[in-house]
Structure 1
Amino acid sequence: MASSNASPPPQPQSTRKSQVLQRRQVEALIANGHSIVIVDNKVLKVDAWVPFHPGGDKAIAHMVGRDATDEVDRFHSEETRALMERYQIGRVEGLWVNFLPPIQGGKFRTLEQTGLVEDDSAFYVAPEQDTSSTPSSVDGSPIFEPADRPAASIRRRNVGDVHMSRTSSTSSVSSAELDDSAQKPKMSVMDARTQREIDLDKSLYPSLDPATQADVVEKYRNLERRIEAENLYQCRYSSYAIEGVRYALFFSLFVLFLKWGWYIPSACFLGTLWHQLSFTVHDAGHMGITHDFMTDTVIGMLVADYCGGLSIGWWKFNHNVHHLVTNSTEHDPDIQHMPFFAISHKFFESLRSTYYERIMTYDAFAKFMIRYQHYLYYIILCFGRFNLYRLSLSYLFLGQGPRKGQAWWHRYFEIVGQVFFWTWYGYGIVYKTIPGGWNKFAFVMISHMITMPLHCQITLSHFAMSTADLGTTESFPQKMLRTTMDVDCPQWLDFFHGGLQYQAIHHLFPRMPRHNFRRTQQLVREFCKEANIPYATFGFIDGNKVVIGKLGDVSRQAAILAECQRTITRGDH
């Protein structure tokens, strides 16, 4: 620590918080390794909070250098937002234009380095400029229409519900660089498809200039105030009473058929119970039940770990990142399923996942699987729960969750829950109760495969949507609606989807109780019409057709790439 005579006298806290920081000062702080986030024009230095953040360090890392006002407001209670002010070190004036966070490849300069630049405007993104992906780092082909179909025939900009087409992804350069790249004669076919997807998204959605996006944000915040006024954040506990009756019915049928020795029906009802309980875990993970962090987390741990063998801590660590960088091929773990699935040709480049901190290798096995992914999609989803066990146990036993703060003990409570689950399910049911090897095998497989619709519901809302990176100026609400679609279903089927049919609404308001989504949908439609943002919605069957179509399109891209590589290898050019 520096001696006192070498340090300037400390500023009063009120003076420190009110000081106006220039953009180059914020950049320099980030260059020196600090975690700087902008919230309501307040500059927060959250270094000390990162180890205590219950949502994980990566969620914060993706907000560094950005105006995270909407993200912070949507994911945190009013009390938590008030506590954040203790980390305020100043404020900024005017409209903040986001930096690209370091975790996403952003480059920052210290004050000494920025001192070489006299014009402050060099640090700003021009109003008509964005930081879209380079062609090589973005996905590129329409998925709701043939890949070679003109963009004009794909565009359907009726305000309200739309059915759109796309694929795309990320890495950051200016649009001018993209234009220069587009002129290069050796630009690859994949890069050209990428650029078409970026252009398509730009044609479908409001302009990315800061003024237009600020208008979108203002309309979104007006929508949020209207939702507050209509008490749509208030949980309807009567709806959970109905859920409880349904859970009790499935549990009773599971036990009854098990007692009678009807192991296949018993396994079906256990799997159905797990499927339905997952919706309550999702609610609890977002504090959508009581809106109290500790209460909802305990509910989530009891249901997820003790009843289902899955870690809610892992889920929140993963899911928080997904909500912030939705459908980003490099950053969103919910679309990183190599070597089994690729929803963008960018995965052919063996991307590095910033979430898993490893290369997602596009090797011989991946090439084989991707070639047939549209045929294998539902088969692979049948085994999805086994992968969740692996991820949950890795998270818990490698200590990847928070070790400080109010969530420090959750890991140990969850480990006890894992022991409890494998005791009652693995030992008590499978090993002790069910006779015969084939009966045991059938019970395990069927109880897990019955949960396949859940994995289908999870992927449906995002696999069909854009993976294009339109840069740092895109607002939170526009990005959520561009990368997420809703599923249209009759009200009596809401129990089957458990709120996952309203993923676009959920991404806009993640802490809203799911039983209020249907009412909120009409308000979101009105917002989309006012903001001129397409609201994507499909029926469940049609949505699945779109997903299969997209997987098939990427599979064809992989085949074309492989053929080109073989041609070059043979020298036939």
Structure 2
Amino acid sequence: MAKLVRESGLHRRRYGYYWTRLIGTTIAFGLVWTGIVLVGNSWWQLLLAGALAVVLAQLAFLGHDSSHRQIFRSRAWNDWTGRVLANVFVGLSHMWWTTKHNAHHAAPNQETRDPDISPGVIAFTPTIVASRHGWRRWFTRRQGWFFFPLLPLEGLNLHVASVRTVLGTKPVVHRGVEAPVLLTRLAVNVAVLLVLLPPSIAAAFLAVQLGLFGVLLGGAFAPNHKGMPIVPAGTEIDFLRRQVLMSRNIRSNVAVDFFMGGLNRQIEHHLFPSMPRPNLRRVQPLVREFCSTLGVPYAEVGFFRSYGIVIGYLNDVEHRARDPFGCPVAAQLGR
């Protein structure tokens, strides 16, 4: 399949698509801030806070694409585009995000290797569930119902994790650039709001913007792997099954493509991470046919169904993590 995809030209850069997105989203960012200045002391600012969250999420998706070398042929151009988008516009550490996300791609849903299922507020594996007692055990058995109420906190969590990384003791590539730029961006953002708005409206603005930003990003990433098989730490699986069996696609439409930043074609993205986002739609039939030929289950569900799976899984991790989609998947993992 890899040879067929290479010959199809689907790895070619899509400069027109990405330049349009980069310029258009940057203009939208400027227009929202212009609106904030013009509207002034008014609770209508909360609508602009929501608009800003949407724009920042789109910039974050573009940063994700640049981290995967999807936008430019040049490694340096991709890296610096991602660094500017993340640190200057979105307020996240590019290096923190890239390191974490690359580890996820290398071993999706594998215990001790995938940081996205590591211990946290939510328990994603039976091992983590078994380690919890008392009120934490009570919470874990109902955590699916808390998933959406917790999503608004994800925006704040991303900023905190970024700051801790650039100020921490572990080595960080380009820390000399990322630390001052990231910290300045976060401080200026708050300062400008306090200068332009009364403290009450400024606080509400930040709450809405951070909350919706967390929902948009967390909601785009969660349905792609949560509820798919959990791989034991020492298990070895070939590349195709490692990427396909642990990933789930969300059926596409214009709204889903926009709000999920193209991540709804997660299987194709994991198989071809450097493929430009708009080409994933074109490679999807090839991947589906190839998986069917080999008898590899290809998971694709509707948008709302995907969240139903996630909530059900989180409420019963102990049992559903063992065999969430029936015996064919378990058999594939066993082999």
Interval containing the TM-score (normalised by the shorter chain): 0.7 to 0.9
Find the partner of 2:239 among 476, 482, 487.
476
SS of residue in 1 equivalent to 2:265? helix
* Structure 1 residues 239-291: Cα deviation after superposition (integer angstroms, max 9, x where no partner): 12332324423541343144213310121111111111111110111111113
RMSD: 2.1
Aligned counterpart, 2:197: 434
Find the partner of 1:278 among 60, 67, 74.
60
Report how far residue 396 of structure 1 moved.
1.2
Aligned counterpart, 1:267: 49
Aligned counterpart, 1:256: 35
Does residue 412 in structure 1 map to residue 194 in structure 2?
Answer: no
Aligned counterpart, 2:287: 524
| TM-score computed with the length of structure 1 as normaliser | 0.52
CA contact (8 A) 2:228 2:245 kept: yes
Report how far residue 389 of structure 1 moved.
1.5
1:369 and 1:313 map into 2 onto residues whose CA distance is: 33
Find the partner of 1:461 among 208, 224, 238.
224
- 310 and 284 in structure 1: CA distance in 2 versus 1, 3 angstrom threshold: same
CA contact (8 A) 2:11 2:275 kept: yes
- 348 and 492 in structure 1: CA distance in 2 versus 1, 3 angstrom threshold: closer
Aligned counterpart, 1:58: none
Letter in 2 for 1:540: F
- 475 and 394 in structure 1: CA distance in 2 versus 1, 3 angstrom threshold: same
1:240 and 1:320 map into 2 onto residues whose CA distance is: 22
Aligned counterpart, 1:346: 127
Does residue 289 in structure 1 map to residue 61 in structure 2?
Answer: no
Report how far residue 471 of structure 1 moved.
5.5
Letter in 2 for 1:373: Q
Q: Greater relative contact order (Cα 8 A, min sep 6): structure 1 or 2?
A: 2
Q: Which runs of 5+ in 2 are unaligned?
A: 321-335
- 269 and 467 in structure 1: CA distance in 2 versus 1, 3 angstrom threshold: same
Report how far residue 533 of structure 1 moved.
0.5
Aligned counterpart, 1:73: none
2:239 and 2:5 map into 1 onto residues whose CA distance is: 17
- Within-5 A mapping of 1:24-423: 223-243=1-21, 244-261=23-40, 262-338=44-120, 340-350=121-131, 362=132, 364-402=134-172, 408=173, 410-423=174-187
* Structure 1 residues 180-217: Cα deviation after superposition (integer angstroms, max 9, x where no partner): xxxxxxxxxxxxxxxxxxxxxxxxxxxxxxxxxxxxxx
Percent identity among equivalent residues? 28
Number of residue pairs aligned between Structure 1 and Structure 2: 315
Does residue 501 in structure 1 map to residue 264 in structure 2?
Answer: yes
Find the partner of 1:546 among 309, 312, 315.
309
Query: Which has the larger helix fraction?
Result: 2
- 265 and 524 in structure 1: CA distance in 2 versus 1, 3 angstrom threshold: same
1:425 and 1:238 map into 2 onto residues whose CA distance is: 31
- 363 and 438 in structure 1: CA distance in 2 versus 1, 3 angstrom threshold: farther
Report how far residue 365 of structure 1 moved.
5.0
SS of residue in 1 equivalent to 2:109? coil
- 341 and 492 in structure 1: CA distance in 2 versus 1, 3 angstrom threshold: closer
2:107 and 2:27 map into 1 onto residues whose CA distance is: 37
SS of residue in 2 equivalent to 1:535? coil
* Structure 1 residues 306-337: Cα deviation after superposition (integer angstroms, max 9, x where no partner): 11110010011111111112102322111225
CA contact (8 A) 1:309 1:418 kept: yes
Report how far residue 229 of structure 1 moved.
1.2
Aligned counterpart, 1:447: 209
Q: Which runs of 5+ in 1 are unaligned?
A: 1-222, 351-361, 403-407, 558-573
